[in-house]
Amino acid sequence: MLPLGAGSIDDVTLNFSEASLLVLGFVLAIIMFGIALDTKVDDFREVTRLPKAMAVGIAAQFIALPAITFLLTLLLGVGPSIALGMILVACCPPGNISNVLTYRARGNVALSVSMTAISNLLAIFLMPLNIAFWGSLHPEASAVLEAVNLNPLELLGEMALIIAVPFAIGISIAERRPEFAARTQPWVKRFSLIALLVFVLIAFFSNFANFKDHIAIVAVAVFLHDSIALALGYGIASSFRLREYNRRAVTFEVGVRNAGLALGIVFAFFDGLGGMAMVAGWWGIWDIIAGLTLASWWARRPGGREPAAAGAGAG
């Protein structure tokens, strides 16, 4: 069992004002809006062009990763709030940074974008079910779910507001006003990523004392969890003999989670529970560092797409 810091992290609550939580919800909606502006209805047809790659990536995200995460929490013996935070992150859809990392790694960007779109759509329904299922199976984290009386239908409604509504609006604009969407999307993406980073940094420094006491256990758990998620993506894609550039896309789609969405859920449904918030907050930072490191290494390795041919390819 990994040792806890001073006091119990399960007794720590990160404090934010109602205004801050409203801002976070707005930022998350903008993130989803930005993803949708870069998505077209035709992207969903990628499932027919690359059915094996798409099926492998989706199954790895919504079945394999939560299951392996559940086993990892038992193996590490972390406290219930950290365990539930890890399960929550694993159940989140990928963020749009996965598309950027895939491009940098010379992976199949079309596959990455399509999988992000489909994953976020499926997450509206599958994420609440996955959290409730795996959280209730955990011998200690289940008590947290019972204490907060998590209602999957209520969480589904939150997902609809944060994901479905801005996603639908963004896709509609992308289809009807493609030139406007193309001009707007880079600015929306930059604003949302910067705003989320600022929020995470504010969360870190305003609760520095709590982070200082428990950051070691959180950092170790997130490092192992993120490494396993990336390895799972590449490993399962390799086992199904996908082409190298498709393996890279699947790797980031499985390994990169929308930690901002996880933070919003922690504050909306779990009152900023310490371990959960810290896992989601630190994941949002470490995930980018690890992803950029891997993508930069892959960019210099053979097997990737040439920049001009970053479209779809056979599975």
Instruction: Give pLDDT tens digits for 138-153.
Output: 998 888 877 766 666 7
Residue 306 has pLDDT above 80, yes or no: no
More reliable by pLDDT, 117 or 155: 117
Q: Going by C-beta distance under 8 Å and a sequence separation of 6 or more, which residues neighbour residue 38?
A: 96, 99, 113, 174, 181, 185, 189
More reliable by pLDDT, 116 or 63: 63
Distance CA 225, CA 283 (A): 9
Residue 257 has pLDDT above 80, yes or no: yes
Tell me what the mean pLDDT of segment 176-194 comes to.
81
Domain ranges, ordered by start, for the chain: 16-298
Tell me what the mean pLDDT of segment 295-305 comes to.
84
pLDDT at position 266 is: 83
- Report the candidate in 239, 235, 274, 275 with the shortest Cα–Cα distance to residue 255: 235
Percentage of the chain beyond pLDDT 70 is: 82
Q: How remote is the C-alpha of 8 from its chain's centroid?
A: 26
Strand partners, 13: 273
Which segment, 113-117, 248-252, 285-289, is predicted with the most confidence on average?
A: 248-252
Q: State the DSSP H helix or E strand holding residue 14, giving kind and residue range, or none if neither.
A: none
> Average per-residue pLDDT in the chain?
81
pLDDT at position 15 is: 59
Q: pLDDT by residue (tens digit) across 71-88?
A: 999 999 988 989 999 999
Q: Give the Cβ contact number of residue 223 at 10 Å.
A: 14
Residue 256 has pLDDT above 50, yes or no: yes
For residue 308, name the pLDDT band (cuts at 50, 70, 90): very low
CATH of region 16-298: 1.20.1530.20
pLDDT at position 14 is: 60
Q: pLDDT by residue (tens digit) across 16-59?
A: 666 766 777 777 777 778 777 776 776 666 667 788 999 999 99
Q: Which long-range contacts (CB under 8 A, 24 or more apart) does 2-7 make?
A: 2/76, 2/77, 2/78, 2/217, 2/220, 2/221, 3/217, 4/79, 4/214, 4/217, 5/213, 5/214, 5/215, 5/216, 5/217, 6/213, 6/214, 7/213
Q: How remote is the C-alpha of 90 from its chain's centroid?
A: 7
Q: Going by C-beta distance under 8 Å and a sequence separation of 6 or more, which residues neighbour residue 179?
A: none
Q: pLDDT by residue (tens digit) across 92-112?
A: 999 778 988 998 898 988 888
Q: How remote is the C-alpha of 70 from its chain's centroid?
A: 16
Q: How remote is the C-alpha of 102 from its chain's centroid?
A: 15
**Do 242 and 315 form a contact (C-beta atoms < 8 A)?**
yes
Residue 239 has pLDDT above 70, yes or no: yes
Distance CA 176, CA 82 (A): 44
Q: Give the Cβ contact number of residue 281 at 10 Å.
A: 26
